[in-house]
Chain A
């Protein structure tokens, strides 16, 4: 029975992990996919987000992972724990079969238990990631670099990240229980190293004590006449002013979502503000704007720190063809549009995420997006 469980668990991990990895595919930047799609909102306004969810929804469902497993199984990515579990199962078999003493049997039992715990942890992690993906739709934007050559710890960490073991997990609403190895920070669970990262801003550091930027990132972070760039073991690059050795900017290499007071992760390099808000929030001058998780964040370009939320979007919004969701009982159009779009016997109008939608009063079906107003 235990063997069956292990086999099933290992299979589930192997099956689902690549699916999850592929779910992030656009954001991983392999082959230069559409960067807007990788970042969710950039897909194009209300309808773009709707499409994004529709495309990604199936990937978040475990039963859809099967074809992807068949397609990607040969790569072996994402199934990293499966070999360990198979090994443990085999060792247990040897222990029982050869009867080489209780100690070895107990050791084998412990290995099996450890493997079981791994399966359980993996399943929990998958479940949480599925929740996160379903919540975020196509808004993840997990841009991960290509890696060439072996670099020991760095590559191991990158592999761990790709396999999901280092992924910060956003659980519905807020992180209540973080998976092992991740600490709670605001709404996220994230690697402990990231907790202190924002606090490094403005600190004076000994440049010689920090590693050079990994080669994969040197195209982006190269020492110049004003700055050094150094790599922090927690997965970030510091920009250090040559004059005073103070850290003046931080670039996390791995995304953990956006949060006020935190540096903008590298995965959000690309402007991704939904179309209807692009006139209002344009990159340039002192600020950048980035969309994540139903909010548009403002980023101080000099420090790379997120300093505020400039727009909040309704989570579910409205989509043409769908039943008007709960919560849109009241007419809610902005003042300037009330004369033009007034509720009557034939039509109702509702506002969501920059769009005015026409709704059939009888069927309560959203009939059309009649105007985008930002």
Chain B
């Protein structure tokens, strides 16, 4: 039930998110924040992904979702991840009923699947994505922790992530370097498609 609600709701949310980003203007260049989260000079970041999500106002709902899924510890350790973190506006585009269902104990498995679809193992910067797109005829395919792939393409000066349901999320803040990986903020919630991923591979 939650799954069906989620599919419809997130499709709408993703579309709304993308539209919103486009409406916001096509400045499009992906704002990169490689140093803002670093501390102590050099290239070392002091905060973990979980800490930064918790301390960033526009990621507060993402941080709450990580807590509800029991994943805060996952992103507070030393194992490296790349996280496409939806901003609050992306979550708010999901109907309230669906959101509360996901945040309830009964929705934890669904929420975990949804969140891990936003996570890729290792550290992938926007520069790495650009290099992969150059080799991959304009697109980079990324395997998520949840299983299905995401596809990243360039639109104008910006990067757009396409999910398994065909929804698109724009990277609105790239390369927030963390001690255990990197955060790219996106403007829509991503959704694994039924039976396949964004690269068209059957699951």
Contact = CB atoms under 8 A, between A and B. Distances in A.
Which 6 pairs across A and B sit closest by C-beta, in order of nearness?
A327-B143, A332-B122, A186-B109, A351-B122, A330-B132, A260-B70
Contacts of A307: 70
Given A260-B69, A330-B131, 17 more contacts: A172-B203, A174-B110, A174-B113, A186-B106, A260-B108, A298-B73, A307-B70, A308-B73, A309-B73, A309-B74, A311-B77, A313-B145, A314-B121, A327-B144, A330-B128, A334-B123, A335-B43
Contacts of A186: 106, 108-109
Residues of A contacting B: mostly? loop
A154 interface: no
A174 B181 CA distance: 28
B197 to A, nearest CB: 8
Contacts of A333: 122-123
B105 A261 contact: yes
A352 B121 contact: yes
Contact of B143 (A280, A309, A310, A314): A314
B89 interface: no
Contacts of A260: 69-70, 108
Interface residues of B, number: 47
Interface stretch (B16-24, B52-60, B93-101, B134-142): B134-142
A308 B43 CA distance: 30
21 contacts: A173-B147, A173-B203, A260-B70, A261-B105, A309-B70, A311-B74, A313-B145, A314-B121, A314-B143, A315-B147, A326-B149, A326-B199, A330-B128, A330-B131, A331-B131, A333-B122, A334-B122, A351-B121, A351-B122, A351-B123, A354-B79
A374 interface: yes
- Residue from the set B108, B131, B141, B143 with the largest chain A CB neighbour count within 10 Å: B143
B71 A350 contact: no
Nearest to A350: B122
Interface in A118-176: 172-174
B149 A332 contact: no
Interface of B: 3, 43, 69-74, 77-82, 105-106, 108-110, 112-113, 116, 119-124, 128-129, 131-132, 135-136, 140-145, 147, 149, 177, 181, 199, 201, 203
Nearest to B144: A327
A54 to B, nearest CB: 20
Contacts of A327: 141-144, 149, 199
B46 to A, nearest CB: 13
Contacts of B123: 332-335, 351
A260 B110 CA distance: 13
Contact of B142 (A308, A329, A334): A329
Given A173-B113, A309-B74, A352-B122, A330 B140 contact: yes
A277 B74 CA distance: 13
Contacts of A312: 71, 74, 79, 81, 116, 119, 145
Nearest to A315: B147
Contacts of B109: 174, 186-187, 259
Contacts of A314: 121, 143, 145
A321 interface: no
A326 B124 contact: no
A277 to B, nearest CB: 8
A332 B78 contact: no
B201 A326 contact: yes
A309 B171 CA distance: 27
Nearest to A307: B70
A214 B14 CA distance: 54
Nearest to B142: A327
A294 B147 CA distance: 11
A350 B109 CA distance: 29
B154 to A, nearest CB: 13
A329 B141 contact: yes
B3 A174 contact: yes
B69 to A, nearest CB: 8
A349 to B, nearest CB: 10
A354 B143 CA distance: 15
A308 B72 contact: yes
Contacts of A187: 109
A217 interface: no
A172 B147 CA distance: 11
A310 B105 contact: no
A236 B106 CA distance: 21
Nearest to B72: A308
A343 B82 CA distance: 19
Contacts of A313: 121, 145
Contacts of B112: 309
A83 interface: no
A314 B144 CA distance: 7
Contacts of A28: none
Interface string A29-67: 000000000000000000000000000000000000000
Interface in A337-373: 343, 350-354
A82 B60 CA distance: 57
B132 A331 contact: yes
A192 interface: no
A215 interface: no
